[in-house]
Amino acid sequence: MAKVLVSDPIDQVGVEILSQVAQVDVKTGLPPEELVKIIPEYDAMMLRSGTRVTKEIIEAATQLKIIGRAGVGVDNIDVQAATRQGIVVVNSPEGNTIAAAEHALAMMLSLSRHIPEANQSVKNDKWERKRFIGAEVYKKTLGVVGLGKIGSHVANVAKSMGMKLLAYDPFISKERADQLGCTLVDLDLLFAESDYITLHIPKTKETTHIINKESLSKMKPNARIINCARGGTIDESALAEAIAEGKIAGAALDVFEEEPLKESKLREHENIILTPHLGASTAEAQVNVAVDVAEQIRDVLLGLPARSAVNIPGLTPDVMEKMRPYLQLAETLGNLVGQLAGGRIERLTVRLQGELASTKGQPIVVASIKGLLSQALRERVNYVNAAIEATERGIRIIETHDASIRDYSDSLHLAAQGSLGEHSVTGALLSDGEIRITDVDGFPINVPPSNYMLFTVHRDMPGIIGKIGSLLGSFNVNIASMQVGRKIVRGDAVMALSLDDPLPEGLLNEITKVDGIRDAYTVKL
């Protein structure tokens, strides 16, 4: 009989489901050295956030088929090591959705009607009805920043409450926003016109302090902010200052830049509601994630596929080893074409060329989508949810196969239609597995991808390369490699530069001013 190790406390219903197919050992709080010692005897492992599943533990797990995380994040699991070992890693990406959305709505209503302060007032034997005159949300404008699963549910409920909906999400199509009853606007307009602003975004470089002193200055005096998503997306000092000065009406926060919340000016204001990261803390959510993950572990032990794997499900180590270079090629090209085409992608075409055309396309297509969405979703997009995420964003996916042999025996071509127009890239693998970008927008090149890249579209004329090189040098940006692709002499050309350094702010604008440059794009891979 299979054996399952439960290394963190989970709801009993999860244990009962696992017990249908396996011997279940609940051993919580084990130190890493003890886990390494006992893990070889287990076929599956279920945990929450308390256990760290390191490379050492995974390499010792000679029988392990699946690791299940009863929650959303898998940052406490070495997913890469698990994938190399052919171990499926699953989570529960939707188990907390309703709980988090409802908490955001509860915070909005509590903020509007002063519920925490009024409750405390009555408990202090007071009756201060005039002090707690609130505001209705009916006919007010709610600005939803991020229309993923949680943001979409908040929007649906708010719409039923009679609220007008604005939304900002550069990765959602207009058609999807229309379905939700949201008007897509830019961030500045959302800040300026919203009575309530609710955040449903991951913390990334781009979203860190997305609400700051400058954005707060654009808001209405009656604006109220709700954040039940990620700490660090709000400049907490600037928020406290804006509320103290009456620039906005209030805020309700469930997440913070540093948790637990230390000494903070946020505690000083009556019209700021603070809760200790309770978004997913409902009895139902705890049961949901336990059931979801336990069922997936049960299915895998029975030889069935998992529905929410965060790595490639169902691939044996030998197949994984064969496919890995092509999946990496697809992810890289998807990431590249997504940045060239712009954030709001409408269509992605994936064409497997040459000998690759005879390969089963689904894993390569999914890897391409994962790369395409990686700038928006970061670690939240994986090989299982990538296609679903694309569908929810209104992105049309087209898969084609072309057995014609071009410069390489097999290659991959991606084309994307986005907010910056239609762009295409082609790539191939060298004999040693190294990735080469072989074409950009129909212009032949041959460059390896790098962390920082600059692409220009320009007129093929003397002096262009020198001007760009001098301009980059004046900003202390080092060029690692450079190549120009053209179709005819003195016609249009594409220049691809691999850089050792990111472009300083304002430099891209200076590059576009160079005589002969038609357009320029920066890419971070």
Q: Tell me, yes or no, if 277 is annotated catalytic.
A: yes
Catalytic member of 230, 344, 393, 413? 230
How far apart, in whole angstroms, are the C-alpha atoms of residue 51 and residue 28? 8
Catalytic member of 84, 209, 269, 277? 277
Q: Tell me, yes or no, if 259 is annotated catalytic.
A: yes
Helix (H) or strand (E) holding 363: helix 362-377
Catalytic member of 259, 268, 270, 355? 259
Half-sphere exposure of 12 (CA within 13 A, CB side): 0
Helices in 91-230 by DSSP H: which ranges?
A: 97-113, 115-123, 149-160, 174-179, 187-193, 213-217
Q: What angle do CA 261, 262, 266 make, to 5 degrees?
A: 70
How far apart, in whole angstroms, are the C-alpha atoms of residue 64 and residue 231? 35
Would the CA dihedral through 41, 46, 50, 53 be positive or negative?
positive
Q: What share of the chain is helix, strand, coil (3-state, %, to 5)?
A: 35, 25, 40
Q: 3-class DSSP state for residue 478? A: coil
How far apart, in whole angstroms, are the C-alpha atoms of residue 262 and residue 317? 46
How far apart, in whole angstroms, are the C-alpha atoms of residue 425 and residue 437? 7
b/e 108-118 (16+ beta carbons within 10 angstroms → b): bebbbbbbbeb
Q: What angle do CA 337, 339, 341 make, to 5 degrees?
A: 65
What the block records as the tokens of 213 is 């002193």
Q: 3-class DSSP state for residue 67? A: strand
Helix (H) or strand (E) holding 2: strand 2-6
Query: Active-site positions?
Result: 230, 259, 277
